[in-house]
Amino acid sequence: MRQFFPVENLARDERFVQTNMAERMKDARTTVDVDAATAKSRASSNRLTPDRQDASDGARSLMHGIMVGEIQALEGAGRTAHDFAAGDGSGDTIPFELKLDMARQAWDEARHVEISAKLSDWMGTDLGEFAENTVLFEAACSNDPILRLAGVNRALEGLAIDVFTQMKEFGNLAGDPYLEFCEDWMLADEVTHVKMGSDWLRKVTANDPDRREKALEFQQVVDKLFSFGGARGETDESPIGLARRFRELAGFSDDEVNTISKMDSDALEERKDAIRAFHEQADAQPTPA
């Protein structure tokens, strides 16, 4: 069976249309206030809660994002279990027990895909109704298995903790029993997946500090990407919050969570700068007669 599968070759049927972060960031529209002149035209909070006017559509869109994320997480964990030979963790090998953990994760993700597909149906969403951002699988394409652990298990699954916490709270506030229940169960699995990544990263790099540092740097790059231009953050300007408690349970230190929070905040400000520049460019264009 083929190893190291490129993102372009992911198997999808005709319902799915894929996109990536570069395309996503080209969209200069925004839900956040970039200047005082637009302040009154925007909601006071962007946090995805049931009291938003577009709450159910926002939840449907996020739920679809979760579903395609679960498909890619399944594909990523499966690839890591298969792509590397069993060994002592040096070079291109991974411990056999790590392969077993990846196989277990793939099993969990397959169950999450089924749950998410059924939740999407419950919420009135067709599979493939929204664009599929492939950024999640892209983080699972590194040739170094330790970078995959950092990018997928720590950054990607860390994002999943934040998103599931947000959706569980949404279900609770809206009184949606299925949404709250399902998100709670999936959240428990995600905490385990992050913990597996944290533990294996420390174990495999115990005698290789350079490799560990490189992996943690890669995690920061992926974490910033997964902040989606500040869509995740600790202020109400971000639709998705940072789930500090569950991240702590998953093996993140306070310093690590603070670093992620700072990156989210920086990403939001960078996004605002980019949007301001686009507004200025649009304003400078001549108005048709």
Partner 1 sequence: MAAVSTAKVTVTPTQFHFVKYESQDIIDVVTELAELLGVANPIHVIIDETTPLSKLASEVDGVSSDAILTLRAESGALEDTKRFTHFSADAARGSLGRTLLRAKDRLRSDFADTPDDPELSLAENAAWDTYCAGRLERMGVKLNKQRWLYNYRNRFGFSDNCDAAFERLWSSDDLSWAKLTAGP
Which residues, at least 6 apart from 85, have a Cβ–Cβ distance to it below 8 Å? 92, 93, 94
Site for partner 1 in 158-177 (CB under 8 A): 174-177
Q: What number of residues does the chain have?
A: 289
Any idea which residue has 């790590």 for tokens?
98
Q: Looking at 65, 69, 75, 130, which residue binds partner 1 (CB under 8 A)?
A: 130
Only one of the segments 54-62, 135-143, 204-212, 220-228 lies at the binding site for partner 1 (rule: CB under 8 A); that segment is 54-62
User: Would you count residue 23 as binding partner 1 (CB under 8 A)?
Assistant: yes
User: Would you count residue 279 as binding partner 1 (CB under 8 A)?
Assistant: yes
User: Would you count residue 200 as binding partner 1 (CB under 8 A)?
Assistant: no
- Are 144 and 94 in contact, with CB atoms under 8 Å apart? no
- Side chain identity at residue 200, one-letter code: W
| Three-state secondary structure call for residue 240 | strand
Burial 93-107 (b: 16+ CB within 10 A, else e): ebbeebbebbebbbe
How near is the Cβ of 178 to partner 1 at its closest, in Å? 8
How near is the Cβ of 85 to partner 1 at its closest, in Å? 39
Site for partner 1 in 55-84 (CB under 8 A): 55-57, 59-61
Nearer to partner 1, 106 or 267 (CB): 267
Rounded to whole angstroms, how far apart are CA atoms 54 and 51? 8
User: Would you count residue 123 as binding partner 1 (CB under 8 A)?
Assistant: yes
Rounded to whole angstroms, how far apart are CA atoms 77 and 268? 30
- Contact set with partner 1 (CB under 8 A): 17, 19, 23-24, 26-31, 38, 41-42, 50-51, 53-57, 59-61, 121-126, 128-131, 174-177, 278-279, 282, 285, 287-288
